[in-house]
Amino acid sequence: MFILLSSLGVFGFAQPASAETDVVVFDGVFGGTVSKFAGQRKWQPTLWLDGSYGVAGPLHLGAYFQWIGRSWPLENPGFGGGAMIALRGNIKKLRLSGAFTGGFLGVPLPSLGVALPSYVERSGTIGSFVGIGYGFLSWLGLEVRGRWARYFRMPPGAPNHAWSVEAGFSFFID
């Protein structure tokens, strides 16, 4: 909390006015999440939607909604969402982003025998992502990102963290 308040003090509360930042950003990315279930690595499809508002320079505050499927294509999904604090900057048409997230997610657990039946487990999560994009129009671009998430209060044999690689579209308002 101290870091957030210090950042707001350094950046000020003025709206971004330069071409190096966006006022509002909406992202929609699709990809794969990998984690270990009872020692077995498993890929699961994921869809992530987020929106953020520039409050001071490159500092954005926003929210996200996420689906993660048990298998392709988003079969028996778990749903989740939460809040995020992001840094988003532009170097000409190159768009860089990074964020810290926190919220809840329904994690679909595959059937791996009697010890771990197939169901969706609700979990609190924290995470972060780093993305790089290219704005090919003044309002639209492509982004690729890597994301990490930590799951809390999962049953034995279920993952406590996951990695994702995703790509999709970004819509921005300068």
Q: Which residues contact 61 (CB under 8 A, 6 or more apart)?
A: 52, 53, 55, 83, 84, 85, 86
> In the predicted model, is pLDDT for residue 10 greater than 60?
no
> At residue 33, what is the residue type?
T
Ordered structural domains, the chain, with CATH: 20-173 (2.40.160.20)
Half-sphere exposure of 5 (CA within 13 A, CB side): 2
Res. 158 pLDDT band, cuts 50 70 90: confident
Residue 75 and residue 44 in contact, taking contact as beta carbons nearer than 8 Å: no
Give me the percent of the chain exceeding a pLDDT of 90.
59
How confident is the model at residue 113, as a pLDDT? Answer: 54
pLDDT tens digits for range 53-75: 999 999 999 999 999 988 777 77
> In the predicted model, is pLDDT for residue 8 greater than 50?
no
Tokens of 157: 């044999």
How confident is the model at residue 118, as a pLDDT? Answer: 62
pLDDT tens digits for range 65-109: 999 988 777 777 889 999 999 999 999 999 999 999 999 999 888
Handedness of CA 47, 84, 50, 28 (dihedral sign): negative
